[in-house]
Amino acid sequence: MNLLLLTPQDRREDGHWQIADRRAHHVRTVLGLTPGATLRAGLLDDGLGHAHLVSDDGRNMVLAFNASMPPPPPLPLTLILALPRPKMLRRILIDASSLGVKRIVLLNSYKVDKSYWRTPELGMPLLEEKLRLGLEQAGDTVMPSLWLRDRFKPFIEDELPTLCEGSQKLLAHPAPGQTQTPPGDCTVATTLAIGPEGGWTPYEASRFLDAEFTPCTLGQRILRVETAVPALIARIMRLP
């Protein structure tokens, strides 16, 4: 945890902040901080600053905090991702959040196991916790928006055109005429669609192509989704 991420619910009536969950445990046992110490902190969907540890009774930790700096700039990237295996999803969401992605769509595909949509891991509180871990890692405060879409065709027809309007549209999928994924930069709005490990079906790929997505590749190697996501983002957005 490189950033203590506070929420509005942590604020007390006296203006101090109080935590008693895994964050307090981390500050106490991993960072080894005691009253009087300061640490980097931020307020969810707000700014960054430093928190002063006022008191700690072993359970409740009280802090003084004021936001004084803006969070890092977001990536202008929308990530459309065929719903991966639940264990893989955790790592992908943390990575995407830490890289600065602020809009993520988890989409159904024919090759996505139907049981994935019924897993408790898709509960929004659990998903948001994974995104927060990514924010804490990167020193960011702005929570990504997360869309769950379990019907492919209605999403493609009703939502995709507006979602990707005015952006560079890339489809990570092996297809005739595909090009090496172009290096981009972090100022160009981009929509990136990544399929399941078996790839999009021909029908699914054709619907993206009809929406003027350009098929692209990282090369001949076949990568796991959890490897492809950060690799593609880093190349397309030209991360330092």
pLDDT digits (tens, 9 = 90+) for 117-137: 999 989 999 999 999 999 999
Residue 95 — very low, low, confident or very high, per pLDDT cuts 50/70/90? very high
Residue intervals of the chain classified under CATH 3.40.1280.10 are 75-236
pLDDT at residue number 203: 96
Q: Order of strands, edge to edge, in the sheet holding 168-172?
A: 145-149, 101-107, 75-82, 190-194, 168-172, 214-217, 179-180
Residues 208-211: contacts with CB within 8 Å, 24+ apart? 208/156, 208/169, 208/171, 208/173, 209/171, 209/175, 211/156, 211/160, 211/161, 211/164, 211/169
Q: In whole angstroms, give the CA distance from residue 79 to residue 147.
A: 10
- Cα Rg, the chain, nearest whole Å: 20
CATH number for region 75-236: 3.40.1280.10
Which CATH number fits the domain 4-69, given the four candidates 3.20.20.100, 3.40.50.300, 2.40.240.20, 1.20.1050.90? 2.40.240.20
pLDDT band at 235 (very low <50, low <70, confident <90, very high): confident
Average pLDDT of the chain is: 91
Residue 188, pLDDT score? 82
**How many Cα atoms within 13 Å fall on the side-chain side of residue 4?**
33
Residue type, 67: A
pTM, to two decimals: 0.90
**Lookup: tokens for 87:** 């264990």
Q: How far apart are CA 82 and CA 199, in angstroms?
A: 9
What amino acid occupies position 201? T
The pLDDT of residue 132 = 97
The pLDDT score that the predictor gives to residue 7 is: 97
- Report whether pLDDT(222) > 90: no
Is it the case that residue 176 has pLDDT exceeding 70? no
pLDDT band with cut points at 50, 70 and 90 for residue 179: low
Distance CA 20, CA 55 (A): 12
pLDDT in tens, 18-72: 999 999 999 999 999 999 999 999 999 999 999 999 999 999 999 999 999 999 9
Whole-angstrom Cα distance, residue 106 to residue 151? 10
The β-bridge relationship of strands 48-56 and 4-6 is unpaired
First to last CA, the chain: 21
Compare 28 and 177 and report the one with higher pLDDT: 28
CATH 2.40.240.20 in the chain, residues?
4-69
Helix H segments across the chain? Answer: 22-25, 86-99, 124-138, 152-154, 160-163, 202-210, 225-236
Query: Would you place residue 163 in the very low, low, confident or very high pLDDT band (cuts 50, 70, 90)?
Result: very high
The angle formed by the CA atoms of residues 122, 130 and 153, to the nearest 5 degrees, is 40
Task: Tell me the mean pLDDT in the region 79-83.
Answer: 97
